[in-house]
A = this chain, B = another copy of it.
């Protein structure tokens, strides 16, 4: 920790602070600058509590930690990148994994047709919501367990792993029964009881970044899951909220190389939710491959114009196929690069 004292802090105040720091088990180095005193604290202890305490003193200007606030998810903790096997693919491995499907599971016919379209175009994981987080209480809220069954059936029929969102602690076990990956939605990225609950099950988790989560907060949310026992977390950047309104959100594509420096967890992108517009997705998808993400999630629906949700950002089957065809040359480069990447 580095603690900057206020201008004009007295000798007594500085000694008080040094003593307080030592009470937490740290050693202190006090440095007299031109303007003010800066104290460096070295050691191990309850850093969060210590920082909060120091910031509460009127004599302290600021107190910042130097070490990362997360442990298990950091690059230092684990040298090789986490690989997560689902169905017949591996997220974080030597394949760019495309996850696709409707926003919501609506009918058996719809999800079966979609699974076929996804599988035949090269997708590896089938998505489909059974419990839907909707901003308005008057919007369709999902088929619930019936939706889970249909999703599982469709995935099995076409050799696809399946992913679906879980929204509440009480449903975690039920949803985990039917799905290969538990999705935590952007709105629940700091729903800590839910993070703990999915940390206790034996199912990979895909954690979506919140609309205004910093990258550090996203990693701390992942740390909740991992520290409760579940090491298999996939991070998903899906666009952040800014002042721009031409697109639904702004895709923070730079987050991919940043996360690759900070964590060993795999990272996927969601250009459907970031753009909100079907016609933009194929071009953005190319950039998602080129930036070096581990995969991508998009929405596809047999008839977007009659979808119960997210129609404007859902690709038709034909559009999905064309997007996948357009990705092929980029995927070749991706695989060539991945093949030579030394585990670091």
Q: Interface residue count for A (Cβ, 8 Å)?
A: 109
Is A168 interfacial (CB 8 A cutoff)?
yes
A309 to B46, CA, bound (A): 12
Q: Given the complex, which residues of B lie within 8 Å of A243, measured CB to CB?
A: 212, 214, 240-243
Within 8 A of B (CB), among A287-316: 287-292, 304-312, 314
Is A342 interfacial (CB 8 A cutoff)?
no
Contact status A252-B250, CB under 8 Å: yes
A304 to B52, CA, bound (A): 9
Sample of 12 further A-B pairs with CB below 8 A, known A56-B305, A168-B169, A253-B284: A33-B40, A52-B312, A56-B304, A69-B138, A135-B220, A137-B228, A214-B245, A246-B255, A251-B254, A253-B253, A254-B275, A329-B333
Return 25 A-B CB contacts under 8 Å, by A number: A20-B305, A31-B40, A33-B66, A36-B66, A48-B136, A49-B139, A52-B307, A56-B304, A56-B311, A56-B314, A136-B223, A168-B168, A168-B193, A170-B170, A188-B191, A210-B212, A240-B243, A241-B243, A253-B253, A253-B284, A254-B275, A254-B284, A257-B280, A287-B287, A329-B333
Interface of A is mostly: mixed
Q: Which of B70, B136, B289 contacts A136 (CB 8 A)?
A: B70
**Complex: chain B residue closest to A55, CB-CB:** B312
| With A53-B306, A258-B246, A258-B247: A286-B290 Cβ-Cβ less than 8 Å | yes
| With A52-B312, A133-B190, A169-B169: A252-B257 Cβ-Cβ less than 8 Å | no
Is A322 interfacial (CB 8 A cutoff)?
no
Q: Given the complex, which residues of B lie within 8 Å of A333, measured CB to CB?
A: 329-330
| With A56-B307, A133-B190, A307-B56: A244-B240 Cβ-Cβ less than 8 Å | yes
Within 8 A of B (CB), among A1-34: 2, 4, 7, 20, 29, 31-34
Within 8 A of B (CB), among A111-143: 133-141
Contact status B280-A291, CB under 8 Å: no
A72 to B268, CA, bound (A): 39
Q: Which of B70, B138, B214, B289 contacts A48 (CB 8 A)?
A: B138
Contact status B212-A211, CB under 8 Å: yes
